[in-house]
Amino acid sequence: MQDSTSFEQRNKRDLPRVKINRHSVWRLLSFARPYWWQLLALTLLTMLSSTLSLAYPALTGNVIDSVIQRDVSSLQSIILFLVGLAIIQGIMGFIQTYWTTVVGERLLVDLRTKVYKHLQYLPLSFFLDNKTGELLSRLTNDVTLIRTTLTSNLLGLAQNFITLALGLFIVIAGPNALLAQANQFNLHLPTTHNTASFGPTLLVVALILLPIIILPFLISGFLRKYVKRELATLSEATAASEESIGNAKVVKAFTREEYEITRYDKLVWQQFGIILKRARLNSAVQAVTTLLSTAGLAAFLWYGGTSVLNGSLTIGTLTTIVLYITFLTRPFLSIGTLYSQFQISLGAAERIFDLLDEPVSLSDEPDALPLPTIQDHLRFEQVSFGYTKDTEVLHDISFEAQQGQVLALVGPSGAGKTTIANLIPRFFDIWNGNITVDGYDIRHVQVKSLREQIGIVLQEPVLFGTTIRENIAYGRLDATQKQIEEAARAANAHEFIELLPQSYDTLVGERGVKLSGGQRQRIAIARAILRDPRILILDEATSSLDNESESLVQQALERLMHNRTTIVIAHRLTTIQNADKIVVIEQGRILEEGNHEALLERRGAYYRLYTRKFREEQTV
């Protein structure tokens, strides 16, 4: 288990290196560009809604004055207008909420699809260096944060700025300015008469409230730092839970439930600690802004109360202005909160930008052509390769496999057999040398056309948590049911599939956990048969099966290997003996090659490997 120090160091190292700047902000906003006209329409609707909302304080003050003056006619007019205003705002609120949700969800789908699409084209080396749970956290949590900012928060900012501007105008010009505009539509709303001037008082209130807007900008750097650490910790927790749940059998076999609980508990509490730091910062700012807003209101009430006492202001007008001041205080507070949320989303956006900026290092050359149907001739010429720049794992590898041959790669664990197999479909690019298929350098043809002619069957078959039909059809997506069943029969899988309750529509569970090892292997072979590859790569598929399953799988493999160039990472003596060519590898170098009999006669590396393997199998 990692200690807190190492975790903090890794978090700091994993934080995005891109500093927030204007480019980052515009890049974040660019995600909303496809929906600019919907967002513009929602902004205009927000402007209209804010304008209508500002009528309530003026009407409330007039209601109070009408009651004091016993003006029933004016009171009825105002109440009817308020009812109509509420109906209009209700309709507008429904439209605004609905379309904000629609745009937000579409944006969420677009952004997740964009990130997921980029992930699909990243090289295999990227996934070897990054945990699945961390990538899933970015694809879900981080993207959701961005979605909220680009819809609700942006519209909220627009609404608050509009409310602030209109509110200041009304308070300075007086509520009668708004009512006079409404009376142009023959509404006959009463206006009030007062002689009080609010200019100097509003200036004092504005100076008091100014720090409310400035404070969020001052704390933005700290807030962003906490958010990025929080998201990094959340990614760690997601990765830990994904690993333990995905490997539940191993966890239970080693009775490590408590260990996994402790590991996850430590991570979520570390995240909680970071959240507390952010909460303390936000709470301090909130407390200061509340204090300042109350002070501003107190300054106005002192002036307004004095004006009522000397007769220059009615109680209704005072109430109106107090309500307007309250309305204006809300945008001041909300703008700060929304800016803080914008900083949170920028922290998430940095992590998304890091992912989107990850280069697709293995891609087609600009002038790459599709690989034509090949005749199976595979050739390695002085190939060198390493997973990291300073460590070479393959040294001057040269061999060839002719059409229809079975070539066995043998050697101790870590010799480089799997690495060689991974280079054939170009999962990685080599450092030096050439790999050719029928004379075509695989770096100069389209990757998709190369991989479409290669089939892979692993020692541990990988199935998706869908139906058997979908798993087999993964080899060829347009396959008919008849073709799927023919592939299953060739793989000795049709018989057991038919005995299942839902036959080919049976769900296999995550990674195929509902099937036995032999059944999973035969499904994987059926998938490869349906693909009909010209080159076949096998990581000895029978080494972990019982005798009955091994026999069925071996029969299926023989059908699959027929008339195909096959590269086998060999573990079983029978596979090695029957191979047309054997390549012996040790520490990334080819020691010798030839057929079984010829290599035994040399009494070299292969002889030593074979005799040791023979003794092991005899003992078993």
Supply the pLDDT for residue 555.
Answer: 74
Supply the pLDDT for residue 11.
Answer: 43
Does 529 have pLDDT greater than 80? yes
Inter-residue contact 512 to 472 (CB < 8 Å): no
Supply the pLDDT for residue 537.
Answer: 87
Does 19 have pLDDT greater than 50? no
Residue 254 confidence class, pLDDT cut points 50, 70, 90: low
Nearest to residue 496, comparing CAs of 474, 515, 473? 515
Mean pLDDT of the chain: 76
Bridge partners of 507, per DSSP, are: 467
Bridge partners of 144, per DSSP, are: none
Structural domains for the chain: 4-356 (1.20.1560.10), 369-453+535-551+564-620 (3.40.50.300), 461-532 (3.40.50.300)
How far apart (Å, rounded) are the C-alpha atoms in residues 488 and 526? Answer: 5
> What percentage of the chain reaches a pLDDT higher than 90?
1
Over residues 252-268, mean pLDDT: 72
The pLDDT tens digits for 107-117 are: 888 888 888 88
How far apart (Å, rounded) are the C-alpha atoms in residues 588 and 499? Answer: 46
**Long-range contacts (CB closer than 8 Å, 24 or more residues apart) made by 547-554:** 548/518, 549/516, 549/517, 549/518, 549/521, 550/518, 552/492, 552/518, 552/522, 553/492, 553/518, 553/521, 553/522, 553/525
Supply the pLDDT for residue 563.
Answer: 79
Residue 343 confidence class, pLDDT cut points 50, 70, 90: confident
The pLDDT tens digits for 274-302 are: 778 777 777 777 777 777 767 766 776 77
Helices 72-121 and 55-69, packing angle to 10 deg: 160
Inter-residue contact 511 to 463 (CB < 8 Å): yes
Residue 219 confidence class, pLDDT cut points 50, 70, 90: low
How far apart (Å, rounded) are the C-alpha atoms in residues 606 and 620? Answer: 21
Residue 549 confidence class, pLDDT cut points 50, 70, 90: low
The pLDDT tens digits for 115-143 are: 888 888 888 778 777 777 778 878 777 78
How far apart (Å, rounded) are the C-alpha atoms in residues 539 and 409? Answer: 10
Residue 172 confidence class, pLDDT cut points 50, 70, 90: low
Over residues 304-328, mean pLDDT: 72
Residue 84 confidence class, pLDDT cut points 50, 70, 90: confident
Residue 201 confidence class, pLDDT cut points 50, 70, 90: low
- Maximum distance among all Cα pairs of the chain, rounded to whole angstroms: 120
Supply the pLDDT for residue 603.
Answer: 85
Does 4 have pLDDT greater than 60? no
Does 178 have pLDDT greater than 70? no
Over residues 462-477, mean pLDDT: 85
Supply the pLDDT for residue 497.
Answer: 86
Out of 206-210, 281-285, 372-376, 403-407, the most confident range is 403-407
